[in-house]
Amino acid sequence: MPEVVLKGVTKRFGRITAVENINIHIRNGEYVTVLGPSGCGKTTIIKMIAGIWEPTEGQITIDGVDMSGWPISDRDIGYVFQNIALFPHMSIWENTTYGPRVKMWPEEEGEKKAKEALELVNLLEKKGFFPSELSSGEQQKSALARALTTGSKLLLLDEPISALDARVRVELRYDLRRLVKDLGITALHVTHDQEEAMSISDRIILMKKGEIVEMSEPEELYHRPKSIFAANFIGETNFLRGRIKRKGREGLISLNNHVKITADTGEFDDGVPVIVATRPEYLDVLPLDKEKADSDLEYVEGTLEKIVFLGAYYRYFVDLVTGERVTVDIPSDKEKSINIGDGCMVRFDNEQVMLFEMPPKGLEEVLRIE
């Protein structure tokens, strides 16, 4: 179960810096996901660990050994690609035993490892099939079995299920985590899908434009993000412009210099402009009670502009009197009491309000994922 450490790692391609000053510590037996939009440097990191590319600067160690100059074949790594990389002219058994044959292991040992790997992915009964005879999910499971057959303790997964159908992706991502934990190996998984990352990871490394934005456990990243980018990229979030009117545990915040709500202002002082963030599931929409909306600091008046059915919940789009729009998620089994075009009021849960420093270049610039 190797430990992987990246210290000050930078990779440049000519004038282009793909990643800069990356510091990561992946613990023994940990399942870590590198998450971020396309082009943020995720795959660059995994390819440097694998030895496909060498860092321009910095150091990568596996189990305390500096990997500088080490060829891919000597790093004892299992690698699963986005595009299913099976030999089409070989059976699943031949694909799975390929690694041990190339490494010239004793035949009995190689076959034993292949049998164990195919049993883990529930494909032993199909070992005589060719890749074209399997479903896409089964093909990727076969590729995973092949990566495991050499007995590698470090598994690198580069967008391993992004090319699969949605339902297959959901099933296979749980299989991936189960396999990693059952085998007690270390895994680094690259994806742009935040739901995938949240459901399988011990920790998530969130990246943007070649740099690490945040690194923490999924629950922490969702409920207590440290940046606007993280709050926006992980899940769904409403962002409103505000200003601290009274600091404190039960502080007062004006929204767009209009109505006020209460929340814990943390370390922000009076008069400071802030971004107020809250997730759609922590808001509620009620029929307009003008007196209550004007007097109760939990409520902000608005107009219901649109309702979208999303299965388990309805998404309400409400234009607030502040001039800004929020989305509110209401369980679909809850009776609708407001119609499109009606005046309404949005209830804020002050325990679920997040505050961020006002970005110098404006909110829109920070929210851009590219």
Q: Quick one: what percent of the chain has pLDDT higher than 70?
A: 99
- Looking at the structure, tell me whether residues 25 and 143 fall in a common domain: yes
Phi, psi of 88 (to 5 degrees): -65, -25
- Looking at the structure, tell me whether residues 304 and 287 fall in a common domain: yes
- The residue whose two tokens read 């545990």 is 249
- Looking at the structure, tell me whether residues 94 and 126 fall in a common domain: yes
Instruction: Read off the pTM.
Output: 0.87
Q: Which domain holds residue 109?
A: 4-230
Residue 189 scores a pLDDT above 80? yes
Nearest to 6 by CA among 188, 128, 180: 188
- Looking at the structure, tell me whether residues 226 and 252 fall in a common domain: no
Q: Is 277 helix (H, G, I), strand (E, B) or coil?
A: strand
**CA–CA distances in Å: residue 61 to residues 34, 69, 256:** 18, 12, 50
Residue 153 scores a pLDDT above 70? yes
Residue 271 scores a pLDDT above 80? yes
Nearest to 46 by CA among 82, 16, 96, 95: 82
Per mean pLDDT, which range of 41-50, 103-112, 231-240, 326-335 is the poorest?
A: 103-112
- Looking at the structure, tell me whether residues 315 and 217 fall in a common domain: no
Could you tell me which residues come within 8 angstroms of residue 147 by beta carbon, excluding any fewer than 6 positions away?
A: 78, 79, 80, 155
203, 230, 257 — which closes off a domain? 230
Domain count, the chain: 2
- For 202-261, what is each residue's pLDDT tens digit? 999 999 999 999 999 999 999 999 999 999 999 999 999 999 999 999 899 999 877 889
- CA dist 113 and 310 (Å) reads 45
- Looking at the structure, tell me whether residues 216 and 251 fall in a common domain: no
**What is the residue-wise DSSP string for 288-336?**
--HHHHHH-TTEEEEEEEEEEE-SSEEEEEEEETTS-EEEEEEETTSPP
- Looking at the structure, tell me whether residues 261 and 123 fall in a common domain: no
Residue 144 scores a pLDDT above 90? no
- Looking at the structure, tell me whether residues 160 and 262 fall in a common domain: no
- Looking at the structure, tell me whether residues 224 and 246 fall in a common domain: no
- Looking at the structure, tell me whether residues 66 and 179 fall in a common domain: yes
- For 3-47, what is each residue's pLDDT tens digit? 999 999 999 999 999 999 999 999 999 999 999 998 899 999 999
Per mean pLDDT, which range of 81-90, 204-213, 214-223, 332-341 is the poorest?
A: 81-90
